[in-house]
Structure 1
Amino acid sequence: MSQSHALSDDQVAGELRKMTAFIRQEALEKAREIQLKADEEFAIEKSKLVRQETATIDVLYEKKFKQAAMSQQITRSTLANRTRIRVLSSRQELLDDLFQEARGKISGIAAKDAKKYQTVLKGLVLEGLYALNEANIDIRARKKDKDAVKKAIGEAEKEFKKTVGKDVTVTLDEDESLPDENAGGVVIIGGQGKIEINNTFEERLRLLEIDALPAVRETLFGKNVNRRFYD
């Protein structure tokens, strides 16, 4: 009975082959499943890493871009300031030369045209008389202008009397004179020595420099120069 159910060697070998094939098939399928799972996880991790690296690169690029933009802005601003300073310096130098040339010209007025100088002196004295409107006035001038100033004083006194209707006595202070290197003009003193009007050429030119500078700049450099370069 037992012998009828016994398997032959060939049958045993066949069963073993079937079992081996089944196990191998399951192993292959499991290996494929593992491979697919590994590939999927790799793809997910790779995508994650790519996104992270891309974000890092974007942040770095944005930072570099901002740094470059800031550097460019600083460079542009520095160059603009340097240009502005050069322009201002050149313009100021031109203006200084202009007024220095004017100083040189006014210094030679007395020597070149005595009659014209005396007329100017009269105007300067008369201006002081009108401003002070006092009975007694002292005048200071250069020693070398003594004669011209005295003539100018006489003419100014007459004109003041004619215009204002009252006498004025103007005295040339010969004890205290203006320096000879002074370009010319007079200093008018009133208020018992307490009020002084400086009508020397240097002082008038200095005031002109201050008052006329905006107009001179506009004439030389254009209408908008004060707003663009001197604000």
Structure 2
Amino acid sequence: MALTDADVQRQIKHMMAFIEQEASEKVEEIDSRAEEEFNIEKGRLVQTQRLKMMKYYEKKEKQIEQQKKIQMSNLMNQARLKVLKARDDMIRDLLNESRERLAEIAKDPARYSALLEGLVLQGFYQLLEPKVTVRCRPQDVEVVQAAVTKIIPVYKEAVKININVRIDQERFLPSEICGGVEVYNDNGKIKVANTLESRLELMAHQMTPEIRVNLFGANPNRKFTD
């Protein structure tokens, strides 16, 4: 039986509706898959960026921590240097005070004469030369001469040899020093420095470790005291 135009139109509409339904379902499927893939890619990108940010801030945190350690170390070193300087200044002040007190010794004639006798005699013993020259401050010539006269017999008795002593009255020690003498051998190449300042410096060098311990206590990190 032949189809009428109306039947053909109905079939065409039916086919078009079926095609439209298929197309609509396909579109929804594509949209759903696209959204799923988008969400997966978005999650992957977010996770990647999150890991990058975590690594970045972790690196920054380590850098900051390292800078804090360096700054703390620098501050500790600066504080330690300040403490050491303050200690050195205190010891220097003690030595300066000692030098000022040395100047008072020469103002006591009896005490200063006895001290000069010991300093000159020590110079003789250190040189053990038959001829020596003694150099002193210009204001000490007489008291040094008296000391030399007094100790020559003591020296001869101790070492069993003679000694010829000359007091240098052409080249004196600076008058502003605290006192004492320098004793030279005959050719002037060997010198025993027995000025009060030189004795103080020697004593200070020897006693500085002990002074530090007495003032500031023992340093647990110091292996040697010299």
TM bucket normalised to smaller: 0.7 to 0.9
2:100 matches 1:104:
yes
User: Following TM superposition, by how much is the alpha carbon of 1:218 offset from its aligned partner in structure 2, in angstroms?
Assistant: 2.5
Structure 1 residue aligned with 2:188, among 178, 186, 193?
193
Structure 2 residue aligned with 1:157, among 138, 147, 152?
152
Q: Which residue is equivalent to 2:24?
A: 28
Cα distance in 1 for partners of 2:20, 2:189 equals 127
Q: TM-score, normalised by structure 1?
A: 0.85
Structure 2 residue aligned with 1:139, among 119, 134, 141?
134
Q: Which residue is equivalent to 1:43?
A: 39
User: Following TM superposition, by how much is the alpha carbon of 1:63 offset from its aligned partner in structure 2, in angstroms?
Assistant: 3.0
**AA of the residue aligned to 2:139:** K
Residues 35-94 of structure 1: per-residue CA shift (max 9 Å, x gap):
221022102211221122113212321332233123212321321232122112211211
**AA of the residue aligned to 1:205:** L
**AA of the residue aligned to 2:204:** E
Cα distance in 1 for partners of 2:132, 2:117 equals 14
Give the fraction of aligned pairs with identical amino acids, expressed as a percent.
38
8 A contact 1:218–1:226 mirrored in 2: no
1:107–1:225 distance in 2 versus 1, CA, 3 Å: farther
Q: Which residue is equivalent to 2:52?
A: 56
Cα distance in 2 for partners of 1:81, 1:192 equals 51
8 A contact 2:133–2:186 mirrored in 1: no
Q: Which residue is equivalent to 1:206?
A: 201
Structure 2: gaps (5+ residues):
none
User: Following TM superposition, by how much is the alpha carbon of 1:128 offset from its aligned partner in structure 2, in angstroms?
Assistant: 0.9
User: Following TM superposition, by how much is the alpha carbon of 1:117 offset from its aligned partner in structure 2, in angstroms?
Assistant: 1.5
Q: TM-score, normalised by structure 2?
A: 0.87
Structure 1: gaps (5+ residues):
none
Cα distance in 2 for partners of 1:191, 1:74 equals 61
2:153 matches 1:181:
no
Figure out how many residues of one structure are paired with residues of the other and give that number. Answer: 224
1:213–1:225 distance in 2 versus 1, CA, 3 Å: farther
What SS does structure 2 have at the residue aligned with 1:41? helix
Q: Which residue is equivalent to 1:6?
A: 3
